[in-house]
């Protein structure tokens, strides 16, 4: 297990109004080395042509990568902040949900790199993203 301590989904769910909560992002699974969430494809997350907005996919990816990064470190001593994110959009989605899974590529003392894969209901790749997080002392 890569997490700083055993967490439950209830502990890490949003408690205040955030971009992620406005987009309907939900955390659905915390595995031994991955963090998973889902986001609806609806009027909040579609672009004007009726398909999932690329920025919404990036918001899902950044949310999952950022939260996961924070779960790996001691929150009393450190905080993780985003440095860079990129995304490749490979398939359109017009309804339902997309599911993102964040897995670490690198967990260092001062930086982390996370791979986030977003799939549709048929488990086909919609977007692949990578986020680099800086780990800073509080």
Known active-site residue 137: no
> Catalytic pick from 29, 62, 84, 122?
62
Q: What residues have CB less than 8 Å from 28, skipping those under 6 apart? A: 9, 36, 37, 38, 99
What is the set of active-site residues?
Answer: 62
């Amino acid at each position: 297990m890569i997490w700083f301590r055993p967490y439950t989904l209830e502990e890490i769910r949003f408690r205040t109004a955030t971009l992620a909560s406005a987009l309907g992002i939900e955390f659905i699974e915390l595995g031994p080395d991955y963090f998973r969430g889902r986001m609806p494809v609806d009027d909040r997350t579609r672009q004007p042509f009726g398909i999932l907005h690329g920025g919404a996919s990036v918001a899902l990816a950044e949310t999952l990568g950022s939260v996961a990064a924070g779960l790996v470190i001691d929150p009393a001593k450190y905080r993780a902040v985003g440095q860079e994110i990129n995304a490749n959009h490979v398939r359109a989605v017009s309804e339902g949900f997309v599911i993102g899974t964040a897995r670490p590529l690198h967990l260092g003392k001062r930086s982390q790199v996370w791979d986030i894969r977003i799939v549709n209901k048929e488990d086909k790749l919609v977007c692949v993203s990578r986020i680099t997080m800086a780990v800073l002392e509080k």
